[in-house]
Chains A and B, each alone.
Chain A
Amino acid sequence: MGLKRWLSRQAVARVHVLVVETPGSWATRVAVEQALSRRGWQSAASPADADALLVCGTPGPRLQETIDHVWDQLPGPRARVDAPSPDSALRALEEAETILLDLNRQSDDARHRPTTVTNDDDHSGMEHSGMDMSGPGGIALAAGGPDRDGLEMDVLHLPLGPILQYWPPGLVVRCALQGDVVTDAEVEILEPPTGAEPDESIASLPRRIDVAADILALAGWSDMAANVRYTRDVMIAGADLKHAATQLDRLRTRVGRSRLLRWSLRDLGRVDSAALTEYRLGEDCRGDVYDRLMRLLDLPVEPTDVAIEHSAVVAALPSLISGYDVAAARLIVASHMPLGRLGVVADRPGGGHA
């Protein structure tokens, strides 16, 4: 028992938390990220990697269902906690720690879990009719289809979202893949923003910067993503805006100097004038992922007009990502900033001072 206790003490020094952001809980998610970093904990990339599941805000029924499903995938010892508002972030983490250290509770949890994996894939809402269900475990076999070179290749279905790191909350993109190339996609907003119109804080600088940090993280430049997030937090704290602006400027220069990044992001998801008109997209969708990233890191001269276009982006999304591989598709989705603003901002950055 002594060893077990010692082991669990060490283990909670670095808990991996799967953070679920519900639409409209951006500020809470940011507060959770800050709390995680203060404790030296980190965000989990997948349920298998997670010790704790933390839900920011209040999910609607459909998102709740997915969260329950993801909860079943945590290997355990595991803790499930909620942070309904930004100021509850720290408390939620403390609660998670208590649960993870409660050895009796953990062994109870382990005893009452089913030990076999069953096929309950139906939650994804995928059409199984017409598919060959004779695969192992009763799962559908992949059907074939002509790929971009005209060869027959298996088609794989992969839903992106709604619970995914660096992904707009509440969005699901069901992709048909050949290899790792998206051949077709269907978009769904799991939880449409309800009620109030997005307020000005949706286009606020911290949110734009946050999207930029997501793009950098997806591009694999984690140091820079952390720097950008740090600047975001300085801005949210609001104490020294001038310092934050200088910092942002410096980061922008450093990002701009990276040839590797430019080479990696250039020409991905390019939207030209014709496409802008065709899909009725706003000006800030113009260019490729690199252009959009650099624009996000600019200090805005004037507030951009955002209210109209997000539904247009959602509608255009399948065409925008088709033909790209998953890595590029993720970058493209992240770079279309309005998606980051899908959720209505119910809470405000900084927790309370509205």
Chain B
Amino acid sequence: MPDQVIHQVAPGWAVVAVGLVGVFAILAASLDGVLVSRHDGRSSVRGWKKPLDETARLMRQRRRTTLAADSLLWRIGGAGLVVVACLKFAVVPLGQWTLADLAVGIVWFNALDVMVWALVWMIGWGPNSADSLIGGYRFLAQALAYELPLMFALTAPAVAAQSLRVGDVVAAQQGLWFVVWMPIAFAIYCLAVVAFSVWGPFSPAAGADIAGGILAELSGPDRLLVLAGRYALLAAGAAFAVPLFLGGGAGPLLPAWCWVMVKTLILLAALVAIRHRLPHLRADRFVEVGWLILLPAVLLQLLVVAAIVAGRG
């Protein structure tokens, strides 16, 4: 059994953490490229190169602005997604090391994904363009549907561990991972990660029907930041699921930090893979699902968890 004491590392390691988020995001983008290439019957080699090609293309492309754009908010929104993803990653323990061992780690994560509301809205609002604005509306409608279920899904592991500290949640999973006895909370958490990353079935905000929505007016490095931000959010979401539901660093043979990475990558790959496989969940219809199905389901889950914890004593 590995040592479960969590050490907070020096702030300088933040550079490594940001690098890790970057690596995860690049791998996610590569995987997406491969999946699309293979589906279209082209070579996967081209797919792997997707992050490189797209980065080169967008670094070379000029930035642009629109008439009467709210540039400040627009740029804050665009740059913010990557920042939020890195801040989320800061509370994920890699084995026994963590960057920030907050007493309220879970609340920290939740606060940051509420921040995504503001950022995506600003990206939609900023360029003074109807398409982008509609993208912003759609994201807010979607967020109204996933946020409350997500909050309760995050609460379930906290109740079981009787702590909001991420390290305690990991420690409480010795023997049995939370995903086993709170599968609904885990499923809703994953769904919400895809949703706050504006990804796959939850990307009507960036839909082709509104010329790319929140992405419609972005070009060059600004676009690159937003696209990278989406992958980074997906990666941060996958990484946070590991201490929360998947037993943290628990696993045979490999060191704990390695298991965290492996689990993160597997979950991230699964989240990336669903992208093109499902139709969009249109925001107006998804709101119904969010409130009538997801919310009651996760509350029920929470009730079960609370009853078990109380019963255990």
B-binding residues in A (CB < 8 A): 7-8, 10-16, 37, 40, 45-46, 48-49, 51, 73, 75-77, 110, 117-119, 121, 135-137, 139, 156-158, 164-166, 177, 179-180, 216-224, 226, 230, 258, 260-261, 263-264, 325-328, 330-331
B87 adjacent to chain A (CB < 8 Å): no
Does A45 contact B208, Cβ atoms closer than 8 Å?
Answer: yes
Shortest Cβ gap from A186 to chain B (Å):
16
Does B211 contact A223, Cβ atoms closer than 8 Å?
Answer: no
Chain A residues near B134 (CB-CB < 8 A) = 177, 180, 326
Q: Which 4 A-B pairs rank lowest in CB-CB distance, beginning with the nearest?
A: A220-B280, A10-B56, A137-B68, A75-B219
Q: Which residue of A lies closest to B69 (CB)?
A: A117
Does A218 contact B218, Cβ atoms closer than 8 Å?
Answer: no
CA distance in complex: A318, B68 (Å)? 30
CA distance in complex: A328, B204 (Å)? 12
Chain B residues near A218 (CB-CB < 8 A) = 207-209
Does A261 contact B279, Cβ atoms closer than 8 Å?
Answer: yes
Chain A residues near B42 (CB-CB < 8 A) = 37, 40
Shortest Cβ gap from A139 to chain B (Å):
6
Chain A residues near B66 (CB-CB < 8 A) = 117
A-binding residues in B (CB < 8 A): 37, 39-42, 46, 49-50, 52-54, 56-57, 59-68, 128, 130-131, 133-134, 137-138, 201, 203-204, 207-212, 215-220, 223, 276-282, 284-285
Q: Which residue of B lies closest to A334 (CB)?
A: B209
Chain A residues near B282 (CB-CB < 8 A) = 264, 327-328
Does A117 contact B279, Cβ atoms closer than 8 Å?
Answer: no
Does B67 contact A75, Cβ atoms closer than 8 Å?
Answer: no
Does A226 contact B40, Cβ atoms closer than 8 Å?
Answer: yes
Chain B residues near A224 (CB-CB < 8 A) = 279
Does B219 contact A222, Cβ atoms closer than 8 Å?
Answer: no
Chain A residues near B62 (CB-CB < 8 A) = 75-77, 110
Does B57 contact A14, Cβ atoms closer than 8 Å?
Answer: yes
Does A45 contact B49, Cβ atoms closer than 8 Å?
Answer: no
- Other A-B pairs beyond A117-B65, A260-B281, 12, CB < 8 Å: A11-B53, A48-B217, A76-B62, A117-B67, A118-B67, A217-B208, A221-B277, A258-B279, A264-B285, A325-B284, A326-B134, A330-B209
Does A75 contact B64, Cβ atoms closer than 8 Å?
Answer: yes
Shortest Cβ gap from B124 to chain A (Å):
11
Q: Select B46's contact among A40, A139, A217, beta carbons within 8 Å.
A: A40
Does B220 contact A14, Cβ atoms closer than 8 Å?
Answer: no
15 contacts between A and B (CB under 8 A): A7-B60, A8-B60, A46-B212, A48-B212, A51-B57, A119-B67, A164-B211, A166-B209, A180-B138, A217-B208, A219-B280, A221-B277, A223-B277, A327-B207, A328-B282
Q: Taking each of A8, A14, A48, which has the highest tally of chain B beta carbons within 10 Å of its own beta carbon?
A: A48
Does B211 contact A45, Cβ atoms closer than 8 Å?
Answer: yes
Chain B residues near A73 (CB-CB < 8 A) = 64
Does B276 contact A223, Cβ atoms closer than 8 Å?
Answer: yes
Q: Which residue of A lies closest to B63 (CB)?
A: A75
| CB-CB under 8 A for A260 and B278, given A76-B62, A77-B61, A220-B203 | yes
